[in-house]
Structure formats: C-alpha cells, structure tokens
Amino acid sequence: MDGYPTNPAGAMVVVVGPSGAGKDSVIGFVAQRFVGRVDIDFVRRVITRPSDAGGEDHESVSEIDFDARLAAGDFAVAWKAHGLQYGIPREALDRVRAGRIVIANGSRGALDQFRQVFPKVVVVNITASPAALAQRLVARGRESEADILKRLQRQTPDILDEADVTTIDNSGPLEIAGSRFVALVAELQGTALETG
C-alpha cells in the first residue's frame, strides 16, 4: 500500500446497482443520518457530464480535463459507462487509510479496481423490482422510452454473491432501504451510532 500505514477501521463502501434502483436517494438518506460525523465521508465523483444534468452532486469536467487528471494520477479508481467517464478522487484512499468509512456511488464494472486499490471494500448492491426501475427511469426524463427499454433489457441480473456484498432492495419506501444501509455503516464502525 505505497508504504502508508493503514487504520484497520477504515473501509470503502461502494454502492452499485441498476439505473433507477435509487442509489443516489439511498446514499442521500444515509448522508442525512450522519451529518457532522468526521469519521464518515461521502465521495463527490468527477464525471464528464454537465453539472445541470440532474442526479447526484458531482464535479463536472470535460473529457480532455478528465483524461489529463487520469494521466496525472488524480483518481483512485476510474471507469467508463453509458458514454461517460467517472472518477473517484485519490483523496478517498487517504481517508480510508486514516480509518474513515468512505461511501461512493460506484459501478459493477469497476469493482475489481476498487478491491485492488482500497485496503477494505464493502459493496452495497441496491436493487429494485423491474416495475420500480422502469417507473423511476421514466420519471428522470433523461432517456426516451425506447432507450429505457434497451437499458432494462441489457442490465445484468442483480445477483452478487461475493462475501463483501450486501444486497438491499429499494422497491418500497426509501426509509426501509436507507435504514438498512445506516445499520450497515454502524456495524462497520463497530458501534451503535447515534443517527437521529
């Protein structure tokens, strides 16, 4: 690990799941429960998507700037999906090494990278029923109905059976899935957290 000491309490929590499963909403729910906690961080991703495109709060960059930052080693993990480039800033690795719980919206295709880079990785797989996925994708208004059907048809099954994966169904009320995620973070910290 580049000669850096690592605090075993630290962990990178990577949130994955199909489009429309509500990953951003669940992450937002968890973030509200841990406001003010210095030992729990939420990653602001760098994405080659306009800042006003909706969805998560991200740092918007051009493809040229992204490639330059990638070449400079600014990202701990980077990947391409749906015609965009995504990066997890290198500072996230420093935070995990310092013993913090760091939560990031990730990608299934990048899980091997996360596992190679971070000393401890926990994967949270957010799922939802096909009906809920379709309804949410239509409500986002980012894609045509035909594009949404294509996206749903090519999505892989929501079965991740690795030991470091926890699957949370977000088909119902956000509070149910969010509370399960909050409990997972509390377990990682090894304490009953005061979450309001």
| Per-residue DSSP letter, 6 | -
Q: Annotation-wise, does 22 bind a ligand?
A: yes
- Quote the CA–CA distance of 41 and 133 in Å, as a whole number: 28
- Quote the CA–CA distance of 189 and 181 in Å, as a whole number: 13
Best CA proximity match to 21, nearest among 161, 160, 172: 172
Q: Annotation-wise, does 17 bind a ligand?
A: yes
- Quote the CA–CA distance of 119 and 115 in Å, as a whole number: 7
Q: Annotation-wise, does 21 bind a ligand?
A: yes
What the block records as the tokens of 167 is: 């699957």
Q: Annotation-wise, does 169 bind a ligand?
A: no
Which residue ranges are tagged as binding site? Answer: 17-24
Which residue ranges are tagged as binding site for ATP? Answer: 17-24
